[in-house]
Amino acid sequence: MDSPNLPIHQRLIQDPHDRTGHLRTDDAWVKKAWAEESTRVLVVAGNRVEPSGDSGVRWRTPSTSPEGIRLLLGDSPEGARFAVLTGQEEAGEGWLDLRGLFPTMLADTTEASLLMHAIGLAEWHRATRFCTRCGGSLEPRAAGHELACAEGHLTFPRTDPAVIMLVTTGDPGTDEERCLLGNHTRWPAPYFSTLAGFVEPGESLEDAVRREVAEEVGVRVGQVDYFGNQPWPLPASLMLGYFARAETTEVRCDEDEIREARWFTRADLASVAESGEVLLPSGVSISRSLVEAWYGGELPGSW
């Protein structure tokens, strides 16, 4: 059930599906569930899925699904939910990746949860070809949630923690308060977003925020406050959102990653967003939620 007062990134994950993890190793239950008429299957071709005629994605019956790696996504009163992984070449015309589905994902937040699960596992299977301990080939187990080699070594899906932060300076809530947004070297010039980076081994989340900001734009950060989190299976991240208070304001961009970084007051941000001079991230991203939470309302435009 949609709750419009929640930040958009939280609305997207507010109705998680029942993953029924305890049933993944129950081969008899999984086989029986696959044979049920009520079971529905999401076909993932590489990283693309087939949209439905109205909104969301097409769910097939087991009998109309292609061969591939079967993943048990979970169970529900309406029936079990599986995904089948096939090659990218099986994607038909008009099939979309996760980013292409973002505009319609809020129509059914439980379906969005299933999609995140399926795409995350699909990305893991695509990237994990050999055992990291012996180099042997791998076979799926536990309804697609484990991979095992001939030596018995198990490999599990991994999620990499990444911090994403809105850096601010000035008296909070005043017209003079500013936020810092950057344009990555991989993006077109109008695309601006919050800063982000992966957490390194042995590093706290707050220290990762401070290090990444210093490395990317040369700004020293002091206070760091948690905002929220968002799973991001592109390919396997958990985005941990923060507000970070700047102790310095001089910007020195790491030109390998950040082409430009600029400070914006709320009035500045509204003006450039309205004109299209700056395009902000998609409305379903935690980056967008961070910016609009600081701004105090919705902003136009996105990429």
**Which pLDDT value is given to residue 220?**
98
Q: 221: phi > 0 → left, psi -120 to 50 → alpha, else beta; which?
A: beta
Among 25-29, 60-64, 170-174, 230-234, the range scoring the smallest mean pLDDT is 230-234
Continuous segment of H or E residues that includes residue 229:
strand 221-232
CA dihedral 213, 7, 101, 37 (to 10 degrees): 130
Nearest Cα to 66, choosing from 48, 89, 90, 94? Answer: 90
pLDDT at position 12 is 63
The pLDDT of 275-301, averaged and rounded, is: 93
pLDDT category at 25 given cuts 50, 70, 90 is: very high
Helix (H) or strand (E) holding 225: strand 221-232
Q: Which CATH superfamily is domain 160-295 in?
A: Nucleoside Triphosphate Pyrophosphohydrolase (3.90.79.10)
Question: How many other CB atoms sit within 10 Å of the CB of residue 273?
Answer: 21
pLDDT the model gives residue 135: 96
User: How many residues in total does the chain contain?
Assistant: 303
Task: Tell whether the model's pLDDT for residue 2 goes beyond 50.
Answer: no
The full DSSP string for 5-36 is: TS-HHHHTTSS-----GGGTT-HHHHHHHHH-
Cα–Cα distance for residue pair 238/231, rounded to 1 Å: 5
Mean pLDDT lowest for which of 52-61, 153-162, 191-200? 52-61
The whole-number average pLDDT for the span 29-55 is 93
Q: Virtual CA dihedral for 270, 274, 277, 280, nearest 10 degrees?
A: 70
**Does residue 289 surpass a pLDDT of 60?**
yes
Of 4 and 165, the one with more pLDDT: 165
Q: Are strands 154-155 and 160-169 parallel, antiparallel or unpaired?
A: unpaired
**Confidence at residue 277, expressed as pLDDT on a 0 to 100 scale:** 96
pLDDT tens-place string over residues 86-133: 999 999 899 999 888 877 765 667 888 899 999 999 999 999 999 999
pTM score, whole prediction: 0.88
Return the number of other C-beta atoms located less than 10 Å from residue 222's C-beta: 10
Residue 56 — very low, low, confident or very high, per pLDDT cuts 50/70/90? confident
Query: Which whole-number Å values give the CA distances from 152 to 60, 69, 167, in the listed order?
Result: 34, 20, 46
Cβ neighbours around 87 below 10 Å, total: 11
Report the candidate in 240, 211, 210 with the shortest Cα–Cα distance to residue 222: 210
pLDDT computed for residue 1 by the predictor: 44
Rounded mean pLDDT, 63-73: 97
Backbone angles phi, psi at 28, to 5 degrees: -65, -45
Q: In the predicted model, what is the mean pLDDT of residues 52-78?
A: 92
Residue 10 pLDDT level (bands cut at 50, 70, 90): low
CATH 3.90.79.10 in the chain is located at 160-295
Q: Is 225 within 8 Å of 242 (Cβ atoms)?
A: yes
